[in-house]
Structure 1
């Protein structure tokens, strides 16, 4: 049996074989999250943007593929920021050449936001090879392994989305809506 690679992060778990294997999985997940965080930092530095800017572009690029128009209110809702912050964000992305504002086709008071062609090319150049490697790693899994990984990730999402009751904190222990549920409510 292998020992956990980072036993210090498993100090509150049991020492039986099942717990050791579970801690190995959690440590693997932590290493992945650390690598992903570093990748996001490198991407932000490469594109000279903040995290919110990248999240906004990601949302707009995904919406573009989905065909639905996105307005400032949609973007604010997705990012969980105020309308004033959204205006500042949009202005910044327009100035940097990543975003364009267009009049809404049916509501003259509203705007539609879209990424520029250069934004799509820049994101692909910055992240394309990494996404290809990630897809290749996923495609090496069998269908059963994919279902197991998905079940695990959904369970982990549920585990971390629960707000635990604390003496000085909130008393709501209901889980937050999943990204899938949040996306469904935005449609």
Structure 2
């Protein structure tokens, strides 16, 4: 007995039917460009970390610490590592002079990790050429173009967060 042909994009119609629809949909210029941004973006961190003589986790920690201080356990959670591994990352950053430990301002029993000037310079120094180029690109957008790009990127973020 012959199996009926599945509808295009029907994920229950066979092992490859849903995938074929996704592949066809991902051939649009905007989705191809977004996929390339994501691919290249995933390569930036490891390359910058190597250039700086840091592990990818150490660079990730510095980028997070550049935003605000973190407690060691909180930083480990943000990095997706165990508390012990997080402590080792902080120890290495402190040893290099890229971070310091200090007493938490409101709860003196707690410790927080703070990026140092050299840690900030390490991150900014390697990433500044990219940020400057992106700033120029952003400045070249008309207000209407910026609205469209912002709406698209926010929608892309929400689509990805839905998977999390």
Q: If the TM-score is normalised by the length of the shorter chain, which range does it land in?
A: 0.7 to 0.9
Matching of residue 140 in structure 1 with residue 149 in structure 2: no
Give yes or no for contact 1:72–1:87 (8 Å, CA) kept in 2.
yes
Does structure 1 retain, via aligned residues, the 8 Å contact 2:76–2:87? no
Correspondence 1:35 to 2:44? no
Distance 1:160 1:107 in 2: 36
CA shift, 1:160, in A, is: 2.5
What are the superposed Cα offsets for residues 1-20 of structure 1, whole Å, 9 maximum, x if unpaired? xxxxxxxxx963597xxx68
> Can you list the C-alpha shifts for 1:57-92, whole angstroms capped at 9, x where unaligned?
1111111xxxxx432233133223332222121112
Q: Hey, what's the Cα distance between the residues in 1 that align with 2:74 and 2:45?
A: 23
Q: How many residues get paired?
A: 146
Q: CA deviation at 1:106?
A: 4.4
2:51 to 46, 49, 64: 46
Alignment RMSD (CA, Å)? 2.5
> Closer, same or farther in 2 for the Cα pair 1:99/1:14, shift >3 Å?
closer
Q: Secondary structure at the match of 1:154?
A: helix
- Extract unaligned runs of 5+ from structure 2: 1-18
Q: How far apart are 1:31 and its partner, in Å? A: 2.0
**Contact preservation (8 Å) 1:99, 1:114:** yes
In structure 1, stretches of 5+ residues that fail to align are: 1-9, 64-68, 164-175, 177-187
Q: How far apart are the structure 1 equivalents of 2:155 and 2:41?
A: 20
RCO comparison, higher one (Cα < 8 Å, 6+): 2
**Residue 12 of structure 1 aligns with which residue?**
21
**For the structure 1 residues 106 and 156, does the alpha-carbon distance in structure 2 shift closer, same or farther, using more than 3 Å as the test?**
closer
Counterpart contact for 1:13–1:23, Cα < 8 Å: no
Structure 1 runs, 4 residues or longer, greater than 4 Å off:
none
Q: TM-score of the superposition, structure 2-length normalised?
A: 0.75
Q: 1:123 is paired with a residue of what secondary structure?
A: helix
Provide the rounded CA distance (Å) in 2 between the counterparts of 1:13 and 1:83. 39
What's the CA shift for 1:43? 0.4
| TM-score under structure 1 length normalisation | 0.67
